[in-house]
Amino acid sequence: MPRLRPTLVLLAALAAVVAAGAANAAAPAHAESAPAPHAKHDDHAGEKHEKAKIDPFAHVVDSNHIEILPTAGLTIDEVEYEGFPLKFIILITVSALVVAAAMIYLSEMMRDGDPPTGKLWNLLESLLFFIRDKIVRPGVGEHDANAYLPYLATLFLFIFAMNLIGMVPFLGSPTAAIPVTAALAFVSFLVIHVSGVASNGFGGYLKTFIPHIELEGGLPMKLMGFAITFGMAILEYATAFIRVGVLAVRLFANMLAGHTVLFMILFFIALVSDPAYQVPFAKENPWIFWGVMPFSVALVTALSLLELFIAGLQAFIFTFLTAVFIGLAKHPPH
């Protein structure tokens, strides 16, 4: 089993890139949403109207406040630094620290080569062997698996931790923000193509994107073969960027959709109870609240269990595709 310490350096670098992406995206959004100087002088009715608003995307958008129990006034405000919201950066940092602590613990336990004991040790070691045997070796190949295990294990655990922290209602979901997933995909983009260049040389790696097509015949057939080769080469080069773009969008879209669905199901309760959103039928029949509320809570609870599975599944898909792309870059099929 390779040493696990390199994961700490990779984790720190990965977390820094992702946090930078989150901060870069949060700055313009915060500037646009910042109230004008005269907003403080709005009337009391306007303030009540603002407080009554329910934002369906509040859980997946960076902000400068954390709502623990807003109806009871339990909120943490001014979570920012020089105008930059820090909520997502804090959540990303917490995720990185949790993964780092788990890896340090596991490396210390495995140092002497003793068989695993205890639930936590067995869980972490099983998870790491799963990443090696089901993701790294099938994707990268047996020969290079140990070299890429630190990065791919770090990537999987980091995404998984951010997905899980997004399940906590009053916090937020960093992986449901496209800047965060784009930063993760950018790091994978660098690892994929640097690996390809290292294995094939710069010129040799560029040639791997050009298919070999030979058509027998005269000049027209040769020109057709050249045109097809040229067009497919352009598509192959574009694919190098499209692949990582798909990685970012897939993770972002799945996490965003899951959290939005959970919100909309819970919002049914507001539609039959909150005066700001209550439908006319519910106003005339208050008893309907007792039929909608238990159903919404039960359905959200069931879907939240499904979201726990989705959190692991999306981490697996992102990491497995990264491993496959690394393998294709190092050992191109043509």
CB atoms within 10 A of CB 41: 7
Q: Using pLDDT thresholds of 50, 70 and 90, give the confidence band for residue 97.
A: very high
Query: How does pLDDT run across 145-189, given as a tens digit for each residue?
Result: 889 999 999 999 999 999 998 888 777 888 988 999 999 999 999
In a domain, 44, yes or no: no
In a domain, 297, yes or no: yes
**332 contact partners, CB below 8 Å, separation of at least 6:** 196, 200, 208
Predicted TM-score of the model (pTM): 0.80
Query: Based on the structure, what is the number of domains in the chain?
Result: 1
Query: How does pLDDT run across 285-323, given as a tens digit for each residue?
Result: 778 888 888 888 898 888 888 888 999 999 999 999 999
- C-alpha separations of 324 from 20, 45, 88, 260, 314 in Å: 27, 57, 29, 30, 15
Residue appearing with tokens 């990582």:
244
Q: Using pLDDT thresholds of 50, 70 and 90, give the confidence band for residue 20.
A: low
Angle, alpha carbons 282-285-288 (nearest 5°)? 70
Query: How does pLDDT run across 52-81, given as a tens digit for each residue?
Result: 466 666 667 777 767 666 666 677 777 666
Residue of 184 and 118 predicted with greater confidence: 184
- C-alpha separations of 264 from 66, 183, 271, 297, 328 in Å: 20, 28, 10, 12, 41
Query: How does pLDDT run across 235-278, given as a tens digit for each residue?
Result: 888 988 998 999 999 999 999 888 888 888 888 888 888 777 77
Indicate the DSSP class of residue 217. S
In a domain, 106, yes or no: yes
Residue appearing with tokens 């009554």:
52
In a domain, 40, yes or no: no
In a domain, 36, yes or no: no
Q: What is the pLDDT of residue 14?
A: 63
In a domain, 48, yes or no: no
Query: How does pLDDT run across 206-238, given as a tens digit for each residue?
Result: 888 888 777 677 777 778 777 888 888 898 889
In a domain, 43, yes or no: no
In a domain, 258, yes or no: yes
What's the average model confidence in pLDDT over 125-154? 91
Domain of 254 in residue numbering reads as 6-31+53-330
